[in-house]
């Protein structure tokens, strides 16, 4: 069952991210009146199954890597997408159909020159190339925008320390509950989100942090704790912001845990622990960790009736747990916003991801961070999707889809042959050559694309080696 869920999760995330990209090329070509020869929903190369609708063959290709859209008259990438455009002779047509496992009883149709990609002006080709990344960006913005419109925007808590983990990086740095972070890594008045994100990229690196305590600025040094998961390392500052007051409602009770054998029920609102009132989940966790394996009396509100439930905690990975999950719909502090607020939040989330990605790659360039800890290949991506599906479910997969779609859009704009950015660069080169009465020949384009394909394959081999090496790290 777990394997099936992982497979479905991978197909969902990668299938949507890649196909929305190809759909961008497809719809741009259709809107400009360029005829589409083939649309592979899954895989590259020749079709193993297909169906013709209108002028286009839709199907599944031989090699399960990505997807593609093939335009009539676009011969530069034909060797990688399963062959050339529809041939002009009867014998060539039969062979063409046989290679693709297609069956077209209709007579040979000559495609009008006006529908050929190769005869279109450069700005038409530019729009078609830009259509794929554009749709990836639309999806990356559309996901947080839709969530914000339905559920509101998550409020970013002030960087006031609410919890300091015992023995963690914050405690070692001298940070205390109630401190307000006013400077982190040289950034004045950083948001809590900025502090947490930047710490992820600097595990075990000593950086400056300034806190405000009793109206005084106190300069400190903090070295985020190094946490390694799936072979990749990240930094944790080991403190959390004050969450304020929030309802602590039982969402689900875990089997084989103390909560399951107690009178605790789904929907119970926990108000106190051993007679001490609590405001939020942070305080509940802190008290449970202090009490450890001693008896615990939870004061609860059940259907407007006050009760007391007795239970205890068990230790797992240095933490103590009763064994229930909180109701996430009540824990997350969200603020209702309009269209402008939701769109602004969507942009902010995408900019945040881009900033973190750019910072991580700049650290690789300067040697501060290893490529192994930064770049993932196909195996690493599949593993991440599977882990997210198992730990956070569909909600986590949707956020991961946003991240992958955004990165896919950016990656395809890089000036590497075979990628959309490389095709756009070749359009620019062809334009410059036209000023001198010359043109970039089809043969030259094919050679450049094959070189780009080789670069991409080497990159894939490198990232796959990284993924595999993490299993043995």
- Mean pLDDT for 334-354 is 89
pTM of the predicted protein model: 0.76
| Average pLDDT rounded to a whole number, residues 66-71 | 84
pLDDT at 86: 43
Q: Average of pLDDT values for 399-420?
A: 91
Question: Residue 37's pLDDT is what?
Answer: 86
> What are the two backbone dihedrals, phi and then psi, of residue 253, each rounded to the nearest 5 degrees?
-110, 130
Q: What is the mean pLDDT of residues 285-289?
A: 86
**Residue-level pLDDT at 105:** 42
Give residue 333's pLDDT band: very low, low, confident or very high (50, 70, 90).
low
C-alpha span between 66 and 328 (Å, rounded): 35
Q: Please give the CATH topology (third level) of the domain spanning 250-332.
A: Pdz3 Domain (2.30.42)
Q: What is the pLDDT of residue 455?
A: 86
Give tens-digit pLDDT for 81-113: 444 444 444 555 455 445 544 444 444 456 777
Residue pair 31/128 in contact (Cβ under 8 Å)? The answer is: no
Average the pLDDT over each of 98-107, 131-140, 193-202, 292-301 and give the range with the smallest value.
98-107
Residues forming a β-bridge with 161: 241
Residue whose C-alpha is closest to residue 281's, from 243, 251, 310: 243
pLDDT attached to residue 104:
44
Q: Give yes or no for a contact between 225 and 205, defined as CB atoms under 8 angstroms apart.
A: no
% pLDDT > 90, the chain:
24
Contact criterion met (CB below 8 Å) for 207 and 186:
no
Least-confidence region, from 270-274, 277-281, 458-462? 277-281
Mean pLDDT of 348-367: 88
Across the chain, what does the average pLDDT equal? Answer: 83
Lowest-confidence segment of 144-153, 357-366, 387-396 by average pLDDT: 387-396
Domain locations in the chain as residue ranges: 161-241, 250-332
162 falls in which pLDDT band (50, 70, 90)? confident
Superfamily of chain region 161-241: PDZ domain (2.30.42.10)
Q: The tokens of 252 are what?
A: 């689900």
Distance CA 350, CA 247 (A): 30
Q: How far apart are CA 292 and CA 155, in angstroms?
A: 32
Query: What DSSP string runs through 279-333?
Result: -SHHHHHHHHHHHTTS-EEEEEEETTEEEEEEE--EEETTEEE-SEEE-HHHHS-
pLDDT for the residue numbered 330? 58
Q: 71: helix, coil or strand?
A: strand
* Residue of 101 and 435 predicted with greater confidence: 435
Asked if the model's pLDDT at residue 384 lies above 60, the reply is yes
User: What are the pLDDT digits (tens) for 408-417?
Assistant: 999 999 998 8
Reference 122, options 423, 382, 366; nearest CA is 423
Better-predicted residue by pLDDT, 62 or 26: 26
pLDDT at 256 over 60: yes
Mean pLDDT throughout 385-409? 88
Label residue 183 exposed, middle or buried (CB < 10 Å: 0-12, 13-18, 19+). middle
Q: In this structure, what are the phi and psi dihedrals at residue 402, rounded to the nearest 5 degrees?
A: -60, -45
Residue 401: per-residue pLDDT: 94
Helices assigned H by DSSP within 100-191: 122-151, 169-173
Give pLDDT tens digits for 204-245. 889 999 999 888 999 999 999 988 776 677 889 988 887 677
Give the three-state DSSP class for 232: strand
- CA-to-CA distance for 452 and 473, rounded, in angstroms? 31
Place of tokens 């401190």: 179
Q: Which of 455, 371, 355 is nearest to 407 (CA)?
A: 355
How far apart are the C-alpha atoms of 293 and 258, rounded to whole Å? 11
Q: Please give the full DSSP string across 387-438, using - where no structure is assigned.
A: HHHHHHHHHHHHHHHHHHHHHHHHHHTSS-TTSHHHHHHHHHHHHHHHTTT-
Q: Is the per-residue pLDDT at 390 higher than 80?
A: no
pLDDT per residue as tens digits for the range 310-321: 999 998 767 888
Percent of the chain's residues with pLDDT above 70: 88
pLDDT computed for residue 106 by the predictor: 46
């Amino acid at each position: 069952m777990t394997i099936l869920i992982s497979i479905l999760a991978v197909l969902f995330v990668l299938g949507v991210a890649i196909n929305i990209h190809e759909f961008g090329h497809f719809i741009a070509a259709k809107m400009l009146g360029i005829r589409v020869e083939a649309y592979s929903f899954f895989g590259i190369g020749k079709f193993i199954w297909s169906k013709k609708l209108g002028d286009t063959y839709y199907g599944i290709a031989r090699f399960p890597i990505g997807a593609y859209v093939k335009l009539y008259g676009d011969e530069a990438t034909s060797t990688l997408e399963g062959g050339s455009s529809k041939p002009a002779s009867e014998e060539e047509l039969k062979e063409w159909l046989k290679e693709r496992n297609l069956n077209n009883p209709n007579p040979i149709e000559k495609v009008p020159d006006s529908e050929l990609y190769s005869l279109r002006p450069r700005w038409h080709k530019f729009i078609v190339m830009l259509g794929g990344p554009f749709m990836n960006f639309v999806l990356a913005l559309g996901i947080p925008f839709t969530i914000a419109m339905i559920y509101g925007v998550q409020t970013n808590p002030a960087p006031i320390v609410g919890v300091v983990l015992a023995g963690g990086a914050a405690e070692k740095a001298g940070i205390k509950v109630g401190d307000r972070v006013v400077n982190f890594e040289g950034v004045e008045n950083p948001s809590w989100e900025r502090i947490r994100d930047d710490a992820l990229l600097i595990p075990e690196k000593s950086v400056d942090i300034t806190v405000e305590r009793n109206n005084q600025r106190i300069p400190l040094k903090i070295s985020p704790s190094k946490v390694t998961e799936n072979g990749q390392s990240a930094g944790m500052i080991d403190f959390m912001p004050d969450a304020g007051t929030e309802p602590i409602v039982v969402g689900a009770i875990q089997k084989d845990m103390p909560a399951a054998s107690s009178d605790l029920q789904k929907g119970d609102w926990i108000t106190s622990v051993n007679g001490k009132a609590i405001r939020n989940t942070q305080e509940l966790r802190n008290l449970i960790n202090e009490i450890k394996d001693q008896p615990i009396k939870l004061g609860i509100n059940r259907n407007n009736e006050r009760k007391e439930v007795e239970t205890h905690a068990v230790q797992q990975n240095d933490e103590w747990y009763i064994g229930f999950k909180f109701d996430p719909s009540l824990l997350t502090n969200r603020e209702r916003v309009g269209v402008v607020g939701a769109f602004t939040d969507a942009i902010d989330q995408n900019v945040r991801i881009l900033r973190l990605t750019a910072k991580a790659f700049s650290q690789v360039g300067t040697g501060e961070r290893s490529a192994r800890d930064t770049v993932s290949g196909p195996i690493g991506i599949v593993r991440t999707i599977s882990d997210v599906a198992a730990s956070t479910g569909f909600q986590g997969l949707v956020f991961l889809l946003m991240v992958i779609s955004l990165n896919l859009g950016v990656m395809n704009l890089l000036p590497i042959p075979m990628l959309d950015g490389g095709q756009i660069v070749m359009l620019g080169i062809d334009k410059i050559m036209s000023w001198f009465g010359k043109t970039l020949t089809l043969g030259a384009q094919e050679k450049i694309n094959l070189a780009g394909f080789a670069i991409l394959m080497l990159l894939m081999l490198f990232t796959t080696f990284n993924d595999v090496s993490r299993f043995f790290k």
